[in-house]
Structure 1
Amino acid sequence: MAWTWKYLAADGAVAGPAEPAEDFGSQGDAESWIGEEWKTLKADGVDRVVLLEDGAEIYTMSLQES
């Protein structure tokens, strides 16, 4: 299984760095990575991220601080 992130702008358009994050071997690895990189992604115009497992959406998470 491959776990990846999709990056979205506030309007729902695909956003973020030119190169998507690497594929991760587990959900935990993907979540650890986003925990370290979310501020950089936010600075690149990403409003929220979607966790994908083999292309299927698992959940969406906002990068906005509450």
Structure 2
Amino acid sequence: MIRPRWEWALDDDTGAPLTAPLSPAFTTQYDAEEWLGEHWRTLAETGAARARLLHDGAQATPTVELRKP
């Protein structure tokens, strides 16, 4: 059985993809979004400025800004 793969692609302030930190892979969009909601502050502190949710490699949602208020 093939399961859908959801993961976050993280970019820095210039739009360049980050190689670390990496997002785990998720089997549901809900789990992926919940993970980002719990970890976005830590990701922003480590250099991530934007997150793009990918579904089987294609962007599935609008880009999310990871800036602290």
TM-score, normalization by structure 1: 0.89
Which residue pairs with 2:40 in the alignment?
A: 38
Which residue pairs with 2:14 in the alignment?
A: 11
TM-score, normalization by structure 2: 0.85
User: Could you say which structure has the higher strand fraction?
Assistant: 1
Which residue pairs with 2:59 in the alignment?
A: 57
**1:28 and 2:34 aligned:** no
With a CA cutoff of 8 Å and minimum separation of 6, indicate the structure with the bigger relative contact order. 1
Contact 1:6 1:50 in 2 (8 A): yes
Unaligned runs of 5+ in 2: none
User: If you compute each CA radius of gyration, which structure gives the higher value, 1 or 2?
Assistant: 2
CA distance in 2, matches of 1:16, 1:42: 14
CA distance in 1, matches of 2:67, 2:58: 23
What stretches of structure 1 move > 4 A for 4+ residues in a row?
Answer: none
**Deviation of 1:16 (Å):** 6.0
Unaligned runs of 5+ in 1: none
**Aligned residue pair count:** 65
